[in-house]
Structure 1
């Protein structure tokens, strides 16, 4: 039985915590509003963005997850959540002389600055163009420079129940840039949880993984398929500059994650969105 702390126990963290608690591990979840943490995860109130915001951590932690959620898409919010959050968590572990077996950090594929639709993997240099990717990379570097064993997973665009941005775009008839093609990399929320639980159990994990499904596609392909599936007109097409959503336009490979033994529940967007539409 392992002692597990989930720093940032929101949707993904709660999913991970429930799975690990069900497997017999002791799990603590930390967030600003601990009353929202589901049992049997043990709630801790805390705000890791503040130097005085962390409670006394549970003793003898074996695994720590760091799953930050900035409140706004702004540089300062990302700096506080990711950079200061990681800094304060590492300092708290050091104060309590704790050496967990691994710290698992949820990052993002936005750390890659590729904007021409090219392929990227874990060996592609991380050269982010936007502030979000830069702050995430700072947090990754803090973990890498610490004495702790870090495992980083960079997720693509997360979708699933409650994460329906692309569906809203189609329903609202918002235009899609098709020239040049704009690639998107996606992963279902349940596969994010599954991959994070998988990394917990790996005996010798790599320090870095890309968390995406098997099928990067263009936004045009995705939105046309969604429109056809729900019986709406395909979104209008327009010409735009390269760069995609928030400066991103790339195709991510998940070979390392798959080779480690993880099997996606939803291997492409069709499978994932079919499940979402069936629930609706």
Structure 2
């Protein structure tokens, strides 16, 4: 049976997931507040399959009418428009229940919720797995964790993907900061950084949507957590910039080494297991 997939929120990550789904023969609908005017700008020109765009606002239930019937898979991956608790609550804690209330769920067999490793908080460089107790430092992690908990209690198979920091094409702000000499990183003690290439994040989302018996939670990161000052110094060297000076750790993030062992054991192979190689490919 052809999968009928709804992507709720379809930015860069959603588009990369959509293209994988289309290549696999799925029908794909994508919900955005502002769908693209020219669909050819975001879909492969070599494929006859196209994304079906829907206009709607996840924070306004009155705009969610007329969703397609018979959706079999839902990926919830919106990007809040502002780093504000009220916005996060509206998008996640209120938006996901509102979407499910508006959706014909008679054929729905899987919900994927794209969450964040921000749910873990501070671990002073220790290894973190899916069984590590979540203890968010910021409102974003708390709201995402509350949404995960609500979703897990629903009578539909669901999985939460807790992504580390994304990088990839168009996400080179760090490189710009290194070139400008404005990046800083603590050295003593080191602050551990975790990354995942956006194409690997899309591959993980695609993989979990189709996994027959997934666990409730997966960490989405590469194989190689690095001290932040080591990553920054390496990237600075690659672009001919000076190594960054010592500075404070990123606020409300927490130092930890994320393990992707559960995700790899489920059958996913990463294209970019080390962010240094992933960044090198981007810089080429």
- Residues 157-236 of structure 1 correspond to what in structure 2 (within 5 A)? 157-174=165-182, 175-236=184-245
Cα distance in 1 for partners of 2:168, 2:108 equals: 31
Calculate the TM-score normalised by the size of structure 2: 0.92
Cα distance in 1 for partners of 2:134, 2:166 equals: 20
Q: Which residue of 1 aligns with 2:13?
A: 12
* Kept in 2: contact 1:214–1:254 (CA 8 A): yes
* Kept in 1: contact 2:112–2:159 (CA 8 A): yes
Instruction: Pick one of 78, 84, 94 that aligns with 1:74.
Output: 84
Cα distance in 2 for partners of 1:30, 1:247 equals: 30
SS at structure 2 position matched to 1:33:
coil
Provide Cα deviations, 1:4-48, integer angstroms capped at 9, x if missing partner.
111111111111112111221111011011225534010000111
Instruction: Pick one of 260, 264, 271 that aligns with 1:265.
Output: 271
Q: Which residue of 2 aligns with 1:56?
A: 66
Instruction: Pick one of 136, 139, 150 that aligns with 1:128.
Output: 136
Provide Cα deviations, 1:148-207, integer angstroms capped at 9, x if missing partner.
211110000000112123212211212222222111110001101111111122221111
Q: Which residue of 2 aligns with 1:112?
A: 120
Q: What are the ranges of 5 or more consecutive residues in structure 2 without an aligned counterpart?
A: 44-49
* Kept in 2: contact 1:112–1:127 (CA 8 A): yes
* Kept in 2: contact 1:183–1:244 (CA 8 A): no
SS at structure 1 position matched to 2:61:
coil
Cα distance in 1 for partners of 2:252, 2:220 equals: 19
Q: Which residue of 1 aligns with 2:46?
A: none
How many angstroms does 1:245 deviate by? 4.1
Q: What are the ranges of 5 or more consecutive residues in structure 1 without an aligned counterpart?
A: none
Taking only aligned residues, the RMSD between alpha carbons, in angstroms, comes to 1.5
Cα distance in 2 for partners of 1:108, 1:2 equals: 26
* Kept in 1: contact 2:71–2:105 (CA 8 A): no
Cα distance in 2 for partners of 1:98, 1:168 equals: 48
* Kept in 1: contact 2:70–2:105 (CA 8 A): no
Residues 201, 29 of structure 1: alpha-carbon distance in 2 compared, 3 angstrom cutoff: same
* Kept in 1: contact 2:191–2:228 (CA 8 A): yes
- State how many pairs are aligned: 273
How many angstroms does 1:61 deviate by? 1.2
How many angstroms does 1:57 deviate by? 1.7
Provide Cα deviations, 1:56-98, integer angstroms capped at 9, x if missing partner.
22111111000010111121221111111112112223xx353
